[in-house]
Homo-oligomer: A and B are copies of this chain.
Amino acid sequence: MQQTQPKSPTKIPSDPLQRAWIALGRISQSVQLHVAIALKDAKLPDLQWYTVLWELERAGQPTRPKDLAVPLFILPYQLSRLVDRMEKEELVSRIDCEEDKRGHLLELTVKGLALRKAMWAVYAPAMQQAMGRITDPEALKLAELLYKLGDIENPHGS
């Protein structure tokens, strides 16, 4: 798993920031793809569906779409249609919201909960396999650098 493609001169910029940018793009894409393929091979929905299910489960209560859109990093209309499809599969359901008659609350169904668990059984090992080449301390260092890189708060503080 070490030395692949000895070909291609792959002219790489000397600027450290550009090198980090390229590495970030390539590795995240490759690793995401690995997990996505594992899920597809198992005839399971994709990562976005998982994230919706997980956020709802983690919230522990029916949640407004607008509160889900932020952690999901997606636009309202995208979430609207995503929920359409998931509701059709009976994984979530839209229930009335008393405080705000415009919207509604999204509730995880029993089927949705079960699917999230089934997906995790595939997701977790695939992630492990995709990333297993670094040690735990290295993984922590990597997470730290990434949070410093972006302007997203590191949930663990510095």
Contact = CB atoms under 8 A, between A and B. Distances in A.
Interface of A: 1-5, 8, 10-12, 16-33, 58, 71, 73, 127-128, 130-134, 136-143, 145-156
Given A27-B147, A28-B28, A30-B150, A155 B20 contact: no
- Per assembly, the copies of the chain total 2
Contacts of A33: 73
A142 B7 CA distance: 24
A16 B151 contact: no
A127 B17 contact: yes
Q: Is the interface of A mostly helix, strand, loop or mixed?
A: helix
Contacts of A138: 145, 148
A79 to B, nearest CB: 15
A153 B3 contact: yes
Nearest to A141: B145
A1 to B, nearest CB: 5
Given A17-B127, A20-B131, A145 B145 contact: yes
Contact of A19 (B8, B31, B140): B140
B150 A31 contact: yes
